[in-house]
Amino acid sequence: VVRRDGCIKAVGQADVIRHQFSGATFERIIDCSGKCVLPGLVDAHTHPVWAGDRVHEFAMKLAGASYMEIHQAGGGIHFTVEHTRKAMEEELFNTFKHRLERMRRAGSTLVECKSGYGLNLETELKMLRVIERAKQSMDIGISSTYCGAHSVPKGKTATEAADDIINNHLPKLKELKLSGEIHVNNIDVFCEKGVFDLDSTRRILQAGKDIGLQINFHGDELHPMKSAELGAELGARAISHLEEVSDEGITAMAKAKCAAVLLPTTAYMLRLKQPPARKMLEEGVIVALGSDFNPNAYCFSMPMVMHLACVNMKMSMNEALAAATINAAYALGKSDTHGSIETGKQGDLIVINSSRWEHLIYQFGGHEALIDYVIVKGKVIYQNESCGAMSSY
């Protein structure tokens, strides 16, 4: 039962609920007999605001080019930056809105959304305004992330780029927050060899923390950088990627209750070694999942991400579901309101056309026929046109 304010009023056996609310009137009643009701999925890492796809680079990757080879040839992030800088705000908003709608249809009800394809103040703010507009106008939860340190802009060193972010970008974000124009939740840096080194990363993350942003950054993806140790030291809420994390880094993250946002799509598409999910789980790290939706990893579907996590990272289905709901909410600082079906939490739910919830993971790429309803704050925001007409078997 979800109240008018969008929060869960009661959870329990059907007959108990019917008796408890026998005198109540409801705006809508959904018959879920023979189906499963699950928490709305949480996508803990996406880059969904950009112009100019990179479908041509997929062919280069298939032919053997590495991520950094494409990056150094002017492709990768820099290709998208060039197109995003040229794009009008309205164009970016319309494509972003369309992408969010596709994420919702795949069951995501809370999504982390990054800037990072501007690398200059003007374009980063343009991206953050687009994210803010979607926050205000769409029925989906958004946690916004400033990722101006996604790459080093052409013509600058990492130190110069860090200085610009600390002295110009972050003070402007603080000013816009105080005026109520843009509310950013997290700060992100791509801590990587040839991008931002550990010292520059530390300076930017600390400056972001000083203006009230949660630390949630890219680390230890292509090379071991000791990003996990740095994140634990700085009190990071979450670190993403971690394909090359050290044993010491895993221990430090577990102790600091710093979430690991693992991205099985990225490792799959770039043919990287998978992050050591099993070791993290065994050591007590809070493991979350994200789609890493971006021009390099074009995936909207958290059910597909969970499937890859189980097959390629050896997670159990229970672990994957927790990682895509309550743990992903924790990685965004929202596990007190999102990520599970509990009284008092926000009424974000999905209803699947199966008596076993495992079908959401088992059916690889099958979510379009499987998800009957997506509900945010108790309001149906997506209903499958074939709802109830098909069986998941």
pLDDT at 236 over 50: yes
Four-CA torsion 277, 281, 284, 290, nearest 10 degrees: 60
Is the Cβ–Cβ distance between 330 and 135 less than 8 Å?
A: no
Cα(264)–Cα(221) distance, rounded to whole angstroms?
A: 12
At 136 the pLDDT is 96
The confidence band for 374, taking pLDDT boundaries of 50, 70 and 90, is very high
User: Quick one: tokens of 310?
Assistant: 């189980």
Q: For residues 372 and 376, give the distance between their C-alpha atoms in angstroms, rounded to a whole number.
A: 14
- What is the average per-residue pLDDT within 77-99? 96
Question: Within a 13 Å sphere around the CA of 220, how many CA atoms are in the beta-carbon half?
Answer: 27
Average pLDDT value for the chain? 95
Superfamily grouping for domain 39-51+87-332? Metal-dependent hydrolases (3.20.20.140)
Q: Where in the chain is the domain with CATH 3.20.20.140?
A: 39-51+87-332
Joined tokens for residue 265 = 């799509």
pLDDT at 390 > cutoff 60: no
State the pLDDT at residue 233.
98
CA distance 318 to 324: 10
Per-residue pLDDT, averaged over 342-361, amounts to 97
pLDDT of residue 389: 54
8 Å CB contact between 76 and 29: no
Q: pLDDT value at position 393?
A: 47
- Contact present, 374 and 105 (Cβ < 8 Å): yes
Give me the pLDDT at residue 188, please: 98
pLDDT value of residue 60: 85
Residue 353's pLDDT band, with cuts at 50, 70 and 90, is very high
Calculate mean pLDDT across residues 361-383. Answer: 95
Is the separation of the CB atoms in 68 and 195 below 8 Å? Answer: no
Mean pLDDT of 347-368: 95
Contact 321, 357 (CB under 8 A): yes
Cβ atoms 115, 147 nearer than 8 A: yes
The pLDDT > 70 percentage for the chain reads 98
Pick from 193-197, 233-237, 363-367: least confident? 363-367
Average pLDDT over every residue of 232-248: 98
The tens digit of pLDDT for each residue in 27-48 reads: 999 999 999 999 999 999 999 9
Across 234-241, average pLDDT: 98
Handedness of CA 96, 215, 164, 222 (dihedral sign): negative
Determine whether 369 is exposed, middle or buried from the number of CB atoms within 10 Å of its CB (0-12, 13-18, 19+): middle
Average pLDDT over residues 7-35: 95
For residue 392, is pLDDT > 70?
A: no
Structure-token pair, residue 368: 């379009």
Following CA atoms 303, 274, 51, 304 in sequence, which dihedral angle do they give, to the nearest 10 degrees?
A: -10
Q: In this structure, what token pair is assigned to residue 164?
A: 């610009």
Answer whether residue 72 shows pLDDT above 80: no
Q: Please answer whether residues 253 and 228 qualify as being in contact, where contact means their C-beta atoms are separated by less than 8 angstroms.
A: yes
The answer to whether 326 and 340 have CB atoms below 8 angstroms apart is: yes
**3-class secondary structure per residue, the chain:** CECCCCEECCCCCHHHHHHHCCCCCCCCCCCCCCCEEEECEEECCECCCCCCCCHHHHHHHHCCCCHHHHHHCCCCHHHHHHHHHHCCHHHHHHHHHHHHHHHHHCCEEEEEEECCCCCCHHHHHHHHHHHHHHHHHCCCEEEEEEEEECCCCCCCCHHHHHHHHHHHHHHHHHHHHHCCCCCCCEEEEEECCCCECHHHHHHHHHHHHHCCCEEEEEECCCCCCCHHHHHHHHCCCEEEECCCCCHHHHHHHHHHCCEEEECHHHHHHHCCCCCCHHHHHHHCCCEEECCCEECCECCCCHHHHHHHHHHHCCCCHHHHHHHCCHHHHHHCCCCCCCCCCCCCCECCEEEECCCCCCHHHHCCCCHHHHEEEEEECCEEEEECCCCCCCCCC
pLDDT tens-digit series, residues 241-286: 999 999 999 999 999 999 999 999 999 998 899 999 999 999 999 9
Average pLDDT for residues 202-213, to the nearest whole number? Answer: 98
Cα(288)–Cα(285) distance, integer angstroms = 9
pLDDT tens per residue, range 121-166:
999 999 999 999 999 999 999 999 999 999 999 999 999 999 999 9
